[in-house]
Structure 1
Amino acid sequence: MSEKIIYLLQRILRKTWWRCALFSLFAVLAVVLSTVLGPYIAQDVALKLGSDSIDSLLNILASSMLTVAIFSASTMVSAFGAVANSATPRASQLLIEDTTIQNTLAAFIGAFLYSVIALVGLHAHIYGDGGRLVLFGFTVAMLLLVVIVLLRWIDYLSVLGRLGETIRRVEAATIKAMNQRLEKPFLGGQRQPPGARGANEVMATTTGFVQHVSMDLLQTRAKQLGAPLHLHVLPGAFVEPTMALASSDGPLDDDARKAVQDAVLMGPGRTFDHDPRFGLVVMGEIAARALSAAVNDPGTSFDVLATGVKVLGHWSAERQRHDAAGQPVVAFEDVTVPGLREAGMLEDVFTPIARYGAEAVEVGITLQRALRSVSRLGGDLPEAARVLSRYALERAAHGGLGEGDLALLRAAAEGH
């Protein structure tokens, strides 16, 4: 199966509607099974086990589940708005795709649909005594499921939409994307030599952000061309019709160009999937909003700084571990891919703090300490940390700080 199809299926599976449809399908199957299995149960057994109480149970379930489902949906929307206002609208994407929220809403809607369909069949007299007993068993199981989901939902509401929890979610999504990239540092292709570019280019057809690159489709086309394909964009890159997606020295007809364009999936915004830098950008946005005059919450910027150091430390340690293990497996030998720019990862999260926190000496000192920690990591991060440290000092010098505060910043910056 093509990587593009797998990616699109994964995106669909993160939507709320399919979970609701799946739970609702189970509810309908439970009602149907009650009519099928009912004749196999003796009538006296059904009467002894109290299947007559099913009517009242279903009424309670139907009336309560509609209210709970509406309340949960409104709470979910409120949480999305809270995250967008307190952190950044980009972080609300993680809540929208949260499996706990989706499963909770789907369970409530499925229980409501089950009870309504069961009541319709009950009043239409399609169940015998045996069928009512089977329906009673399914209803008890549904009630237990609802209680478990409701208890979990109540506990979950205590952290839903909190700023600290949002930062933790962004951190987890970033680390996941980093691990994916470290497993395939060049998306499974060959390392692209500096300045590699073919004579024939494939231009973008629209304006947007690269969300996914189907390397298997590019490999197939490169085999047909008999020449390597050079990919010039990575997931997260902004492209428009004057920019090249890929190039090759082989002849590119309209079919070949269309195949390469189809392999690069674009959308109106960036996603956390396969894009490690997007999570760092979101962290920087959260800190920038916290440092605005309207919010004035330097403590959140401290949390972002600590998270940024942790995430970059994870990247550095895992990259060194992968480098020690040897060359990565190349699955698409006819496609060259540029590497991820490590200095850009540092800039994504720390530059907004250096810019918007230039007037706060406590933010500047914490930033310098964080950059000192990053400077002890490997790769291109140490030099990037030193450059950003000098930039932060320049911003602070023009931010109106007194000479005493500047002296404290310079002291904190020592050691870069």
Structure 2
Amino acid sequence: MGAGPLTRDTLRTQLWPLPTLGVLLAVAAGVGLPRLDMRIGHHVPQSLTTYLFGGGPAAARTVLEAIAGSLISVTALTFSLTVVTLQLASSQFSPRLLRTFNQDRYVQATLALFLATFTYALTVLRTVRTEADGQPPFVPQLSVTLAFLLTLASVFALVAFLSHLARKIRVETMLRDVHVAADDTLRRLVPEARPAIPGGAAGAPEAPGDARTALSLSAGTSGFLAAVDEKALLAAAIEADAVVLIDRCPGSSLIAGTPAGVAWSRTGTPFPPDTRRLLIERTARALRTTPERTPDQDISFGLRQLTDVATRALSPGVNDPTTAIHALSHSSALLCAMAQRDLSPRRLRDDRGRVRVVLRRATLAELLHLAVDQPLHYGAADAAVLSRVTMLLRELAWHSGPEQRPVVAEHLARLRSAIATQELHPGDRIRLTDLADSVGQALDGHWTTAAP
């Protein structure tokens, strides 16, 4: 995958591109429409003139000045509300949720409309002439009418924006947005079918050559691995007649100069010096890093966000286990979807069908560790949180294949240990123990239903 998707994702999470485009279009319209007004002059049909602005130059200036002054105030209010929302999401839920707000098209479009209306009104204002200016009076009727219509649209947009913002800051909405984005990334990147070979979902590829002739590969800059340029990496491997293994998943933190992968000569002989240098340089360019994690190729990013919300909700300062349980429910749904997909390393082949590049994916064990360990650690004293973690394991066990069930069984053993060491009410302990037993039954392919 090249730089295109990564660039689009970067632009999508910025607040400025759409408002900037709106301002540019407003300037063009503010310059072009008054010229159209001059050309058509008094040739506008009477039936249309009734609906156009009918005031004189002074009235037109008053209207445009009022529009410009009010819209810049409304824009400042809208921006302030957006900043407050971002601060709330960062402090109460997770800093990694800011991407969800920044890429909200509704917020971007509202800011674009307000700034465009303000800019358009100012641009048209400069074309209104009165007799005091020493030139024939001129009122761009079409232009002033459009400014009035844009103002009406801005009023409706402000009301809709406030409603949208009130819905957006609800934790249920944020968790849903994270879930939808993570599910989209999973569907786009990972095939549906599980691997047929045992252990394929977690197995690492074997070294195809002598370790003594292996060439270490690293990223050119430090940061989070955001994307791998697959075409460039495959071309570099073919040109060097090599097999390249990248053993760091998207989302991993890379340090420049620290090995992120390895390459072997397909013939088993050491690489010539020029080939070594070119392969190292081209691999470094193919591993694209950013200062923050992005969901472009990172299938675990959504789970990271959900786990952050859960752990923050379980902190003593927030103490909101209900939110943590909701976040675990979304994590469970994502894990069940991941268990039904092929998480084995991605293999890129040349024209002859030979494997040239192997890209490691996050394993189900790593994903389950990410989703469960921290909530289990911070919420071990809450019976409701333990119950939801147990249900998560039960749901995942039901959707897992034979090669994935040992991972669930391992976490089940840790969960039983946490239940045994906590000071719980005897009734809660019995209920959690029975629920843990149901996880074992789900691992054996049996789903028991409690009697009413």
> Which band: TM-score by shorter chain?
0.7 to 0.9
**CA shift in 2, pair 1:295/1:201, >3 Å:** same
SS at match of 1:375: helix
What's the counterpart of residue 244 of structure 1?
259
Among 310, 315, 329, the alignment partner of 1:287 is 310
What's the counterpart of residue 233 of structure 1?
248
2:382 matched to 1:348? no
Structure 2 distance, partners of 1:367, 1:351, is 10
How big is the shift at 1:151? 3.1
**CA shift in 2, pair 1:329/1:146, >3 Å:** farther
Q: Equivalent residues in 2 for 1:255-270 (5 A)?
A: 255-270=278-293
SS at match of 1:292: coil
> Percent identity of the aligned residues?
22
Of residues 87-96 and 244-253 in structure 1, the stretch that sits farther from structure 2 once superposed is 244-253
Contact 2:218 2:257 in 1 (8 A): yes
How big is the shift at 1:243? 3.4
Per-residue displacement from partner, 1:211-253 (whole Å, max 9, x unpaired)? 1111111122122212232222221112224632232224343
How big is the shift at 1:336? 1.7
Structure 2 distance, partners of 1:184, 1:209, is 26
SS at match of 2:166: coil
SS at match of 1:248: strand
Of residues 396-405 and 79-88 in structure 1, the stretch that sits farther from structure 2 once superposed is 396-405
Q: Equivalent residues in 2 for 1:185-264 (5 A)?
A: 194-196=205-207, 199-241=214-256, 243-250=258-265, 251=271, 252-264=275-287
What's the counterpart of residue 294 of structure 2?
271
Among 293, 296, 306, the alignment partner of 2:319 is 296
Of residues 73-82 and 52-61 in structure 1, the stretch that sits farther from structure 2 once superposed is 52-61
Structure 2: which 5+ runs fail to align?
194-200, 266-270, 441-452
Amino acid corresponding to residue 114 of structure 2 in structure 1 = F
SS at match of 1:376: helix
What's the counterpart of residue 100 of structure 2?
94
Among 361, 383, 395, the alignment partner of 1:373 is 395
**CA shift in 2, pair 1:315/1:249, >3 Å:** closer
Q: Equivalent residues in 2 for 1:1-400 (5 A)?
A: 3-43=2-42, 45=44, 49-52=52-55, 54-123=60-129, 132-183=140-191, 194-196=205-207, 199-241=214-256, 243-250=258-265, 251=271, 252-317=275-340, 319=341, 334-379=356-401, 381-400=404-423
SS at match of 2:251: coil
**CA shift in 2, pair 1:121/1:330, >3 Å:** farther
Structure 1 distance, partners of 2:171, 2:385, is 19
Q: TM-score, normalised by structure 1?
A: 0.87
Amino acid corresponding to residue 104 of structure 2 in structure 1 = D
How big is the shift at 1:144? 4.2
Structure 1 distance, partners of 2:384, 2:126, is 66
Tell me how large the CA RMSD over aligned residues is: 3.2
Structure 1 distance, partners of 2:163, 2:129, is 37
Structure 1 distance, partners of 2:311, 2:161, is 31
How big is the shift at 1:167? 1.2
Higher helix share: 1
Structure 2 distance, partners of 1:244, 1:132, is 66
Of residues 106-115 and 246-255 in structure 1, the stretch that sits farther from structure 2 once superposed is 246-255
SS at match of 1:201: strand
Of residues 358-367 and 78-87 in structure 1, the stretch that sits farther from structure 2 once superposed is 358-367
How big is the shift at 1:13? 4.2
How big is the shift at 1:341? 0.4
Structure 2 distance, partners of 1:94, 1:204, is 28
**CA shift in 2, pair 1:247/1:133, >3 Å:** same
Structure 1 distance, partners of 2:300, 2:25, is 40
Amino acid corresponding to residue 119 of structure 2 in structure 1 = L
Contact 1:207 1:239 in 2 (8 A): yes
How big is the shift at 1:129? 7.8
Structure 1: which 5+ runs fail to align?
186-190
How big is the shift at 1:74? 0.7
Per-residue displacement from partner, 1:132-158 (whole Å, max 9, x unpaired)? 023134324423432342232122022
How big is the shift at 1:299? 0.8
Contact 2:313 2:324 in 1 (8 A): yes
**CA shift in 2, pair 1:337/1:65, >3 Å:** same
Structure 1 distance, partners of 2:380, 2:264, is 49
Contact 1:38 1:127 in 2 (8 A): no
